[in-house]
Amino acid sequence: MDIDDRSDISNTGLLRSVIESLDLSSVEIDKITKLFENKHEELNELFSLNLYQILDAEKDDLLSEHYEVLAKFRERLFETWKTPLMRLDSLLYMCMEAVDELRQQHAGSPLLHTRKFNMATRLQARCVQVGNEISHLLHGGYADGAFARWRTLHETAATTKFICEGDEDLATRFFDFQNISRLKAANKYNEHNELEFDEFPAEQLTQFENDRKKILNKYELHFDKDFGWARKALGNNAAPKGSLRFTDVESFVGLSFLRNHFSFANQYVHAGIDSIGYKLGTSMSKKDLLLTGPSNEGLIEPIQCASLSLIHATTALIKAYPNEDSSIKISTLWLWHEVLKQEVVDADAALQVKGDAFS
């Protein structure tokens, strides 16, 4: 059965329900039925237009009520999670100030134009941006979505730490590697451009190819493989040939202790069977329901993991470009995290009490 067949059945059912609701004679019913059979497409458009007009006229009232419900929910969520959420937001501000202060401190100096400084500060800034996205999802009650974004934050934080602890050559390799991936991405885009957007022109693809050849001639064998830019810095930890993996970088910078959390967060990124199974949003109530909106459960993991990743990235940046206040700043960040860990436990316990009371 194809889509058109299913559409005919659906519309026939609609027609029958309309006819049955009217006081019609058999002759009138026969006329209507024949009209439907002969004018199927026209009537289908008429029914669709009618339904569209009804929904369009009611959407403002419907959404007004929906937005009001969501606003009240967010108020209740914030009552419970206010303390750790505010601490996370404060941490984000501190991390933002750290990179801003560093760039202002070195404004006009030769350091500002080095590849390492440029890559390190841009990566740390992206950590802050992703952290703010996580915060926004947490305030809205989307713990699973926040944890999915933490996966990106973890990757970015590990890369930030790797670049910060490396030298100028590593940062240059990281920057140059875009010339390897750019051509592949452009060709794939043109090949699968089914929506018919503007394609990459031939002359631009030629330039990408020339840039790629130039970079490959600059570096050793296997540079064009996955994470080829990291191979030299990884040294004996790198596979002798073939592609490297993110786990190689993750382990090298000492963040593999978050591997299990990273693997767990993957289920909220991909569309595997696990993505419709266990959810942070129902982790406390353990309700078997089709969660399609926000929940005030499960915020512990994304809050704590986001805090850890932000601090690792920011401390790596501070250590790479230290000043007289660096040790104090780093100690403060870790103290902030220790207090946050207790605050999320307290908030979760308070939510559990409310849940018991309601039950």
Residues 289 and 335 in one domain: yes
* Count of residues making up the chain: 359
Going by C-alpha positions, the residue among 134, 180, 185 that lies closest to residue 157 is 134
In a domain, 158, yes or no: yes
CA 22/CA 29 separation, integer angstroms = 10
In a domain, 61, yes or no: no
pLDDT at 106: 85
Residues 28 and 164 in one domain: no
Those residues with Cβ within 8 angstroms of residue 194's Cβ, 6 or more apart along the chain or in another chain? none
Residues 203 and 100 in one domain: yes
CA 242/CA 124 separation, integer angstroms = 29
In a domain, 68, yes or no: no
For residues 35-52, one letter each, b for 16 or more C-beta atoms within 10 angstroms of the residue's C-beta and e for the rest, the string is ebeeeeeebbeeeeeeee
pLDDT at 273: 67
Provide the residue-wise pLDDT of the chain in tens; the chain has 359 residues.
343 444 454 555 556 666 666 666 777 777 777 776 766 677 677 777 777 888 888 888 888 889 999 999 999 999 999 999 999 999 999 999 999 999 998 888 888 789 999 999 999 999 999 999 999 999 999 999 999 999 999 999 999 999 999 999 999 999 999 988 888 888 888 888 788 888 888 888 888 899 999 999 999 888 888 899 999 999 866 666 667 899 999 999 999 999 998 888 888 777 666 666 678 877 777 777 777 788 898 999 999 999 999 999 999 999 999 999 999 999 999 999 999 999 999 999 998 887 754 44
Residues 256 and 170 in one domain: yes
Residues 181 and 306 in one domain: yes
> Helix 168-176 vs helix 178-191: angle between axes, to the nearest 10 degrees?
10
SS3 category, 129 = helix
DSSP for 58-79, written as a single string = HHHHHHHHHHHHHHHHHHHHHH
In a domain, 111, yes or no: yes
As given in the structure block, the two tokens for residue 5 are 């067949």
DSSP 24: -
DSSP for 162-181, written as a single string = HHHTS-HHHHHHHHHTHHHH
Q: Output the pTM of the full model.
A: 0.83
pLDDT at 304: 97
In a domain, 154, yes or no: yes
Residues 271 and 154 in one domain: yes
Residues 24 and 87 in one domain: no
Handedness of CA 325, 330, 334, 336 (dihedral sign): positive
CA 219/CA 215 separation, integer angstroms = 7
> Helix 40-105 vs helix 26-38: angle between axes, to the nearest 10 degrees?
50
DSSP 273: G
Residues 31 and 166 in one domain: no
Residues 90 and 42 in one domain: no
Residues 292 and 344 in one domain: yes
Residues 212 and 86 in one domain: yes
CA 316/CA 331 separation, integer angstroms = 13
Q: Say how many domains are in the chain.
A: 2
Q: In terms of residue numbers, what domain contains 101? A: 81-358
